[in-house]
Amino acid sequence: DTAVSQTPKYLVTQMGNDKSIKCEQNLGHDTMYWYKQDSKKFLKIMFSYNNKELIINETVPNRFSPKSPDKAHLNLHINSLELGDSAVYFCASSSAGQDNSPLHFGNGTRLTVT
Amino acid sequence: AQSVTQLGSHVSVSEGALVLLRCNYSSSVPPYLFWYVQYPNQGLQLLLKYTSAATLVKGINGFEAEFKKSETSFHLTKPSAHMSDAAEYFCAVRTGTASKLTFGTGTRLQVTL
C-alpha cells in the first residue's frame, strides 16, 4: 500500500563513488520531484518531472542526473559523490492540473558520504 | 517569486496547552498554502491545505489553520497539545501547478509534561 517508495533507505558511501536512488509511486500521479533536506532540516527542490519530461531544474551540480523511465518512476543518479552531498533525499509526487494538489512524500534516503 | 517565513525555529508547549506555529507568505499571485509534519526519520505528511474555498482550514490530528490575506499569514493552531504532536512542522507555498512547492525553514514543536 506504500504510495511513494524510495530505495535504499540508507546509503553510506565514499567520496568519488557513483550511486543511485530509486523512487516509485503508485498513486497514478503524473508529476514527480526530488527534494534535498540538509542537516538543518531545510528542504530544497532539486528536480521535477511531468510525464517523463523535466520541468523544474534548480541550480544543482550536473553530477546529479534524474531519470524518469515512466511517469511512475523517478530515479536520481549521483556521480563523483562529495562530502557536501550528505543529506536526506526525498522523492515526492503530485497530480498536475490541480493547482492545490499536495505533494506526497516518500520516507527519504539518508545519504552519508565519508 | 514566492516564499514563506516561519517565525520561531523551536516552540515548546506543555501538554494540553494551545499550539500556535506561525507562517507568513509572500506571493505576487494568490497562493496555495500547505502545512506538513515530519516525525523523526520519516517523510513529510500533509496536515492541511488552503484551497481558497474557506479561510479556516481543518486538518488531521486536530490541527487547523486560518488564511488571513490582510496579514499574509497562515498560522497553524491546535487547542490542546499532545505528546504525540512533537515533530517538525513545515509551512509551504505554491502559486500554480507548474510552480515548485517552496518550504519554510521549519518549526520544531516540543511538548512537555
* pLDDT tens per residue, range B24-71: 999 888 889 999 999 988 899 999 999 777 899 999 999 999 999 999
Rg (CA), chain A: 13
pLDDT level of residue A22 (50, 70, 90 thresholds): very high
DSSP at B93: E
- Only one residue has cell 504510495, namely A3
Contact A19, A113 (CB under 8 A): no
Task: List % helix, strand, coil for chain B (3-state, nearest 5).
Answer: 5, 55, 40
Comparing A45-49, A96-100, B2-6, B102-106, the range with the smallest average pLDDT is: A96-100
Which are the contacts of A59, defined by CB distance < 8 A and separation ≥ 6?
none
pLDDT at A17 over 90: yes
pLDDT at B96: 64
- What is the distance between the alpha carbons of residues A48 and A111, in angstroms, rounded to a whole number? 20
pLDDT at A55: 87
B43/A97 CB distance under 8 A: no
B97/A56 CB distance under 8 A: no
Question: Considering CB atoms only, which of A42, A90, A98 is closest to B43?
Answer: A90
Which candidate, A59, A94, A60, places its Cα nearest to that of A74?
A94
Pairing relationship of beta strands A109-113 and A10-13 according to DSSP bridges: parallel
Containing B54, the helix (H) or strand (E) segment is none
A40/B97 CB distance under 8 A: no
pLDDT at B100: 81
